[in-house]
Amino acid sequence: MKRAWENLDLEGGGLQSANRRLVRRLKRRNIAYFLWFLFPLGGHRVYLDDLPRALGYTGLTTAAIILYLSLGNWLLLVPVAIAAAWALYDLVWIDRRVTRINKQIRVAEYLRSDNRPPAGFRGRYTDDAGMAAAATEEPPHDGSPAGAATTPHGRKRIPSFAEQERILRELAKPK
């Protein structure tokens, strides 16, 4: 498929651009669990924005290394046991933390002050005189096929999802 879709302007505003920003910011469980294997360094805690406890993992690892090098093998078990128990707790903690962070990210993204509809967006109804009455009634159906490019009043409207797919298929056709 050609990459002509990349030239489409999707950053004009509205829900589509908010969703694109959201997808880039969300935390992923599979990455957090992969980083959990590096728990002596606290990588999963750093990824999930918990820097103080990530430094706790690093401190326990440093203490274990210092105890091993200076006093012997058996004292190494104390910080290692603490870190291992903490890491086992983190297997449950990761899922809850990802859920909590992603919820905060969604709320922050959708409530941004610059999330406005695209310029010229007027909602479902396009005639100003009948807008108040049309809010309580079903719009009249004039028998035009679904996917018509204009409203019954002759005004342009935003393409439907099916029309957008058709446009993308046309862009993907080899020339």
Q: What is the pLDDT of residues 63-98, one digit of tens each?
A: 888 888 887 777 777 788 888 888 899 889 999 999
In a domain, 103, yes or no: yes
Would you state the pLDDT for residue 40?
83
Per the structure, how many domains does the chain have? 1
**Cα–Cα distance list, 122 to 18, 126, 153 (Å):** 18, 6, 14
pLDDT digits (tens, 9 = 90+) for 136-175: 554 544 444 444 456 666 666 777 778 888 888 888 888 7
CA dihedral 144, 167, 138, 154 (to 10 degrees): -60
Rounded to whole angstroms, how far apart are CA atoms 163 and 30?
35
Where is pLDDT greater, at 13 or 18? 18
Phi, psi at 156, each rounded to 5°: -70, 150
In a domain, 119, yes or no: no
Rounded to whole angstroms, how far apart are CA atoms 164 and 136?
29
In a domain, 82, yes or no: yes
In a domain, 39, yes or no: yes
Q: With CA atoms as reference, report the closest residue to 149 among 162, 138, 140, 158.
A: 158
In a domain, 131, yes or no: no
In a domain, 166, yes or no: no
With a cut of 60, say whether residue 108 has pLDDT above it.
yes
DSSP letter, residue 141: P
Rounded to whole angstroms, how far apart are CA atoms 170 and 172?
5
Report the mean per-residue pLDDT for the chain: 76
**Domain enclosing residue 68, as ranges:** 11-110
Would you state the pLDDT for residue 100?
94
Would you state the pLDDT for residue 144?
43
